[in-house]
Amino acid sequence: MEYDVLKSIVDKSNNIVFFGGAGVSTESGIPDFRSADTGIYNEKNNYAYPPEVILSHSFFMEHTEEFFKFYKSKMIYKDAKPNNAHKALAKLEEEGKIKAVITQNVDGLHQMAGSKNVVELHGTIHENFCMDCNESFDLDYVLNSPEAVPRCNKCNGIVKPKVVLYEEPLDSDSIEQAVKYIRNAEVLIIGGTSLAVYPAAGLIQYYGKDKLVLINKSSTPYDRKANLVINDSLGKVLGSLIE
């Protein structure tokens, strides 16, 4: 029943925006942050600090080597492939239905699936830059660095991932783009996010129409504001739209 309602909404609109969180990529084998059993924040690890401390700007500056040890082992899943959710969104964009994908993820799987218009609120692991001379580097450069802390091959400055860490502001251009797409959207589909992380979660307030769809395995603080709530696998739900 809910699937039919969603299909009807999608069939009738050519101005859909998708807003997604970590749950979009869990079916690709990338753990989210807060799940009770598999979330990065809840799993037992051998690090002296909790993940939210390690992934902060101040920790990066003060304990850079420790940061990269955690980052390379817990934040990068080089072999991950797009799942049915990523593929469905790319297909819907190709069909002219989805105008933009706004993501809190840094894994680049939306682009790998074929999505062209992706707003990455928290940056991406695939872009890295020298903190001294601003030279750009790809993910392989960081992963293949002979040193624990990757260094620029031009000036020897520290190479930092273009990922937004705790204590760092979101990129203002990305926020601006996201607000514009959400504000102008006829349909807003939100998937795979607990809507607990701000300022990203606050972007939803810019949507003022009556086709707000929430797809998440568990409930969210915004469920009562939604016009349609589906508690199910994102890959299954979105995949059904292109079958």
Q: Determine which helix (DSSP H) or strand (DSSP E) holds 159, and give its type and residue range.
A: strand 159-163
40, 61, 144, 164, 219 from 232: Cα distances, Å:
21, 40, 38, 29, 10
Kindly state the DSSP code that residue 176 receives in the 8-state scheme: H
Q: Which residues contact 233 (CB under 8 A, 6 or more apart)?
A: 27, 217
Q: Determine which helix (DSSP H) or strand (DSSP E) holds 189, and give its type and residue range.
A: strand 187-191
Other C-beta atoms closer than 10 Å to the C-beta of 60 total: 22
Q: Which region, left, alpha or beta, applies to residue 123 given φ > 0 means left and ψ of -120 to 50 means alpha?
A: left
3-state secondary structure of 222: coil
Q: Token digits for 7?
A: 């299909």
Catalytic residue (one of 57, 86, 110, 122): 122
DSSP symbols for 144-178: T-SSSS-B-TTT-PBEEEEEPPBTSPPPHHHHHHH
3-state secondary structure of 3: helix
Q: How far is the C-alpha of 141 from the C-alpha of 161, rounded, in Å? A: 11
Q: Is 86 an active-site residue?
A: no
- CB environment 76-90: b (16+ within 10 A), e (fewer): beeeeebbbbbbbbb
Kindly state the DSSP code that residue 169 receives in the 8-state scheme: P
Catalytic residues: 122
